[in-house]
């Protein structure tokens, strides 16, 4: 019966957000509270209605006595990471890469496509698809138009690149996985990086293949210095007074130090430091050096803080959701029930099953619905079959190869609007190349993480 109530919470949550009857934040908070209070009222399942608020709070801030780890650390990490990379974008950390790529590609369609991949992979480090779309499209659409190149190529390469870099902890899905399964972000990232590198090479290979086709169709054209200057001038209109071109090397070195500490903390003699403190310290240093005047620091915080708040709300709401499911024992009950339905011969392949389920799971559902509602149940089954939470976390990331093709992803409409391509054709064209990313993700977790497939 307890498993049935857990299914009711998960199904109710997914139904509300899929039918758009309620936003994810509202559904994440109200559905588990309503079901938890209702079932706890009778006191027949080992908890009472008065325990539900305790479970919800524990899900947000943690409670060792209840064996519930809160999401506050993840929320803080996301807050400071979004502010940090937003500040770096405004300061111009990525501008040299943009300028270099525009100069190098000139009028060669092959170089344009490879440059598109390199630029998209670089800018996607900030974890925001909208930012990647705006930077890459504003930099390269004038080039594509001058050369009469296919905008479909631009749209495909951008989405493939973003689907890889979106796995960084501040990108979205990984933060939700960390929240749902309580795995260490540094350890998870160390195991994700080989697959991300392999997939990035694949995207560059896709760019080469499509670029050779375009070069054959269009030939090569040389841009004049005047044309190049006009193209690059388009990039720096907004917040031009906040650009800090002289601080590029300082910002690059600072960012590199933060990434090394984040990924390799606890190894090679480096201290283990929580990601939230890493980004908070980096942000404080970067703001002080780049923007000594408080008024400019406030402009940065106000600009990117607004983008961070909805994400923080979602993570804290997910804490309520997970706290109630864990505290009441519904998670464990659902996992046990599902485990009894899975034939024993499939148990040893559960990680592969999770990877396959993550494709439709993250396409037809939002990241919130799949990772916060479904993944914990899949994890319970995995634990019963000898897999660790880290194994299941890795397997669940494979579906991100296709997730950004989902109509549930908001920023793709910005990408489609900027490039003017048809959504259906774009989905089909992108999907055939995304298969390669999925295969490489799965292969990587087998080769480098030792996950049994």
251: confidence class by pLDDT, cuts 50, 70, 90:
very high
Residue 355 above 60 pLDDT? yes
Under 8 Å CB-to-CB from 243, ≥6 apart: which residues?
A: 90, 91, 92, 95, 236
Helix, coil or strand: residue 63: strand
If you average pLDDT over every residue of the chain, what do you get? 84
Q: Give the pLDDT of residue 225.
A: 65
164: confidence class by pLDDT, cuts 50, 70, 90:
very high
Contact 318, 28 (CB under 8 A): yes
Residue 400 above 90 pLDDT? yes
| Tokens at 32, concatenated | 């588990």
Q: What percent of the chain has pLDDT over 70?
A: 90
Q: How many CB atoms lie within 10 A of CB 345?
A: 7
Taking CA atoms, 239 is separated from 68, 89, 296, in Å, by 43, 11, 11
Instruction: Point out the least confidently predicted range of 112-121, 262-271, 324-333.
Output: 262-271
Q: How many CB atoms lie within 10 A of CB 163?
A: 27
Q: Give the pLDDT of residue 193.
A: 92
Helix, coil or strand: residue 68: strand
Distance CA 71, CA 78 (A): 11
Distance CA 376, CA 331 (A): 7
Higher pLDDT, 365 or 449: 449
Instruction: Point out the least confidently predicted range of 228-237, 263-272, 376-385.
Output: 228-237
Contact 36, 42 (CB under 8 A): no
13: confidence class by pLDDT, cuts 50, 70, 90:
confident
Bridge partners (DSSP) listed for residue 63: 68
Higher pLDDT, 35 or 275: 35
Residue 396 above 60 pLDDT? yes
Q: Give the pLDDT of residue 260.
A: 84
284: confidence class by pLDDT, cuts 50, 70, 90:
very high
- Nearest alpha-carbon partner for 279 in 75, 62, 96, 93: 75
Contact 45, 329 (CB under 8 A): yes
Distance CA 139, CA 124 (A): 14
Q: How many CB atoms lie within 10 A of CB 260?
A: 12
Q: DSSP for 344-378?
A: HHHHTTHHHHHHHHHHHHHHHS-HIIIIIIIHHHH
What is the phi/psi pair of residue 446, to 5°? -80, -45
What is the phi/psi pair of residue 68, to 5°? -120, 125
- Nearest alpha-carbon partner for 134 in 403, 418, 404: 418
- Give the pLDDT confidence of 189-199 residue by residue, as tens digits: 889 999 999 99
- Return the ∠ at Cα 168 (arms to 167 and 173), rounded to 5°: 45
Residue 236 above 60 pLDDT? no
Tokens 């502010």 sit at which residue? 83
Q: Give the pLDDT of residue 438.
A: 96
Contact 445, 351 (CB under 8 A): yes
Q: Give the pLDDT of residue 332.
A: 73
Taking CA atoms, 62 is separated from 13, 144, 323, in Å, by 22, 51, 9
Q: For residues 410-430, give the mean pLDDT.
A: 84
- Nearest alpha-carbon partner for 100 in 140, 65, 70, 68: 140
- Nearest alpha-carbon partner for 14 in 31, 38, 1, 2: 31
Ranges 38-42, 151-155, 245-249, most confident:
151-155
Residue 408 above 90 pLDDT? no
Distance CA 137, CA 417 (A): 11
pTM: 0.69
Q: DSSP for 149-212?
A: --HHHHHHHHHHHHHHHTTSTTSSHHHHHHHHH---HHHHHHHHHHHHHHHHHHHHHHHHHHHH
Residue 316 above 60 pLDDT? yes
Residue 413 above 60 pLDDT? yes
| Tokens at 337, concatenated | 């029930």
- Nearest alpha-carbon partner for 190 in 257, 267, 258, 128: 267
- Give the pLDDT confidence of 138-149 residue by residue, as tens digits: 678 877 887 888
- Nearest alpha-carbon partner for 370 in 423, 310, 318: 318
Output Rg (C-alpha) for the chain, integer angstroms: 23
Q: Give the pLDDT of residue 410.
A: 66
Distance CA 326, CA 329 (A): 5
């Amino acid at each position: 019966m307890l498993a049935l109530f857990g299914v009711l919470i998960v199904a109710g949550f997914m139904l509300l957000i899929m039918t758009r009857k309620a936003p994810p934040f509202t559904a994440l908070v109200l559905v588990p509270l309503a079901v938890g209070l209702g079932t706890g009222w009778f006191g027949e399942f080992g908890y009472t209605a008065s325990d539900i608020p305790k479970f919800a709070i524990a899900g947000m801030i943690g409670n060792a006595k209840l064996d519930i780890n809160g999401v506050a650390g993840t929320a803080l990490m996301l807050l400071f990471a979004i502010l940090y990379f937003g500040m770096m974008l405004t300061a111009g950390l990525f501008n040299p890469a943009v300028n270099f790529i525009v100069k190098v590609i000139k009028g060669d369609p092959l170089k344009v496509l490879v440059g598109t991949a390199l630029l998209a992979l670089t800018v996607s480090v900030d974890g925001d698809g909208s930012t990647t779309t705006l930077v890459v499209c504003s930099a390269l659409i004038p080039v594509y138009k001058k050369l009469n190149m296919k905008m479909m190529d631009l749209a495909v390469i951008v989405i493939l690149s973003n689907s890889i870099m979106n796995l960084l902890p501040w990108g979205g899905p990984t933060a939700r996985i960390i929240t749902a399964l309580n795995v260490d972000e540094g350890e998870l990232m160390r195991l994700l990086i080989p697959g991300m590198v392999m997939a990035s090479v694949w995207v560059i290979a896709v760019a080469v293949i499509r670029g050779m086709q375009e070069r054959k169709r269009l030939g090569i054209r040389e841009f004049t210095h005047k044309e190049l200057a006009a193209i690059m001038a388009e990039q720096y209109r907004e917040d031009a007074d906040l650009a800090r071109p002289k601080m590029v090397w300082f910002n690059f070195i600072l960012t590199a130090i933060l990434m090394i500490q984040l990924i390799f903390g606890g190894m090679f003699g480096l201290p283990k430091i929580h990601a939230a403190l890493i980004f908070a310290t980096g942000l404080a240093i970067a703001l002080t050096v780049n923007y000594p005047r408080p008024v400019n620091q406030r402009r940065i915080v106000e600009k990117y803080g607004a983008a961070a708040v909805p994400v923080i709300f979602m993570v804290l709401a997910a804490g309520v959701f997970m706290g109630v499911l864990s505290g009441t024992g519904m998670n464990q009950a659902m996992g046990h029930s599902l485990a009894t339905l899975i034939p024993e011969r499939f148990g040893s392949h559960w990680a592969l099953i999770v990877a396959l389920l993550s494709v439709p799971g993250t396409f037809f559902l939002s990241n919130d619905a799949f990772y916060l509602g479904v993944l914990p149940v899949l994890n319970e089954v995995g634990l019963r079959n000898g897999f660790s939470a880290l194994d299941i976390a890795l397997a669940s990331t494979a579906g991100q190869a296709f997730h950004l093709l989902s109509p549930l992803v908001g920023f793709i409409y910005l990408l489609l609007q900027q490039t003017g391509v048809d959504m259906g054709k774009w989905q089909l064209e992108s999907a055939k190349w995304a298969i390669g990313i999925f295969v490489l993700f799965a292969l990587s977790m087998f080769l480098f993480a030792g996950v049994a497939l």
